Structure 1
Amino acid sequence: MKRKQQNGTAKAPAKKAKRKSVVIEPIHINPKYNEKKYRQEFRKGFDASNKPFPHWQLRNFVENSENVVEKVEEELQNFEDWQRKENDLYSLYQSNDLKSIAPAKHPAIFSFRQFLYKEVKEWLQNVSGVELIDQVDCNGSCYARTDSLLPHNDLV
């Protein structure tokens, strides 16, 4: 179908832009961390004897057969929306909360956020025995060469 211009000549309609197909690759926990042996060890290891504070060190926690970690890192390095944050406790660049991230623009970050909100939260609850609240705050932080983060309590 052609549209008629004011001078009487016909003009083809504008073509619609093709939608870009986005593949959201799911991210999963490394299966070794779901084994009963590991769950028991983690529950035992999370106590006040860990220094300087109770913590876990989870090497290769993300099942990375599809190089999802590298894809998330690449998207974060090319991320445009960093804001400078500075006070007496820290100096860094930080993103807004990633709950508003567009999956079409940042599919790896979107997938990682979903992974944290669902799979990691459920895993932490099962391993620690602690019921977690539904709200998950998630943002990116980037520390440049002279930036810093001093130990502090966010609740004070």
Structure 2
Amino acid sequence: MATKVREIMTGSPTSVSPELDIVTVARAMRDEGIGTVLVAEGDDLIGLVTDRDLVVRGLAAGGDPTRATVGGLASTATATVGPDDSLDKAVRLMRERSVRRLPVVENGRPVGIVSIGDLAMEKDAESALADISAARPNT
């Protein structure tokens, strides 16, 4: 059974510049089969954007989606974990901050993402959330 974040995190996360338009980011998410990207300037993590953010904060706001930048939609990373932090710490931070994903940062640089689904599959493999998280995406 895994005990450290590095054992269950998604490594090599996709990062995008805050100046990138939301259509380009949405296409990257589609092409890579992911629902979250980190927003960073160089190695500096600014926040993250989910596919839901693109719809709710981006498209629903109106305007030209090719001009709206992902930096304007990004949720600030209110908490991060290190790859050698315990899974219990990740769970505790998610509960305290009411977040479903945590960027994993090592030496000040983003190296992964850990999600509530990752934790569910590891800590409670028989749960409905674990089943849903393990299933192939609906595309």
* TM-score interval for Structure 1 and Structure 2 normalised by the shorter chain: under 0.3
Q: Which has the larger radius of gyration?
A: 1
TM-score by length of 1: 0.22
Greater helix percent: which structure? 2
Greater strand percent: which structure? 2
